[in-house]
Amino acid sequence: MKKRQEVYDLYWYFAYERQNIFLKKLNGQNAPWTNDEILKTYKFCNSYRVNDRVSQYLLKNVIYNGKEYNNTDMIFRIILFKLFNKESTWELLLNNFKDITLDTFDIKLYSEVLEQAISNGITIYNDAYISCANKVFGYDRKHDNHLALLNKMFIVDKVHLKLLEAKTMEDGFNIIKSYPLIGNFMAYQLVTDINYSDAVNWREDEFTVAGPGSLRGIKKCFVDKGKLSNEDIIRYMFEHQDEEFKRLGLDFKRIGNRPLQLIDCQNIFCELDKYCRQALPDLKSNRTKIKKKYVAKTDKIEYIYPRKWNI
Q: Is residue 122 part of a domain?
A: yes
Our count of domains for the chain comes to: 2
Domain match, 252 and 145 both? no
Look at residue 278 and tell me whether its pLDDT is greater than 90.
yes
pLDDT band at 290 (very low <50, low <70, confident <90, very high): low
Average confidence (pLDDT) over 282-298? 63
* Distance, CA of 194 to CA of 199 (rounded, Å): 7
Domain match, 214 and 283 both? yes
Q: How many residues does the chain have?
A: 311
Average confidence (pLDDT) over 13-40? 96
Q: Is residue 199 part of a domain?
A: no
Domain match, 221 and 102 both? no
- Which of 194, 222, 242 delimits the end of a domain? 194
Domain match, 35 and 96 both? no
Average confidence (pLDDT) over 120-147? 87
> Within 13 A of 129's CA, how many CA atoms are on the CB side?
22
Q: Is residue 200 part of a domain?
A: no
Q: pLDDT value at position 301?
A: 82
Overall pTM > 0.85: yes
Domain match, 211 and 291 both? yes
Domain match, 12 and 73 both? no
Domain match, 152 and 117 both? yes
Give tens-digit pLDDT for 35-65. 999 999 999 999 999 999 999 999 999 999 9
Q: Is residue 24 part of a domain?
A: yes
The residue with greater pLDDT, 301 or 279, is 279
Average confidence (pLDDT) over 222-251? 98
β-strands 2-3, 222-224: how paired?
A: antiparallel
* Distance, CA of 22 to CA of 294 (rounded, Å): 13
Domain match, 189 and 61 both? yes
pLDDT band at 129 (very low <50, low <70, confident <90, very high): low
pLDDT band at 243 (very low <50, low <70, confident <90, very high): very high
Domain match, 72 and 135 both? yes
Residue of 245, 272, 253 lying closest to 44 (CA atoms): 272
Domain match, 42 and 125 both? no
- Which of 142, 167, 194 delimits the end of a domain? 194
Domain match, 96 and 166 both? yes
Q: Is residue 202 part of a domain?
A: no
What is the residue-averaged pLDDT of the chain?
94
- Which of 136, 168, 194 delimits the end of a domain? 194
Q: pLDDT value at position 127?
A: 79
Q: Is residue 272 part of a domain?
A: yes
* Distance, CA of 29 to CA of 24 (rounded, Å): 5
pLDDT band at 283 (very low <50, low <70, confident <90, very high): confident
Look at residue 214 and tell me whether its pLDDT is greater than 70.
yes
pLDDT band at 146 (very low <50, low <70, confident <90, very high): very high
Look at residue 292 and tell me whether its pLDDT is greater than 80.
no
Domain match, 130 and 153 both? yes
Domain holding 165, by residue range, is 54-194
Q: Is residue 144 part of a domain?
A: yes
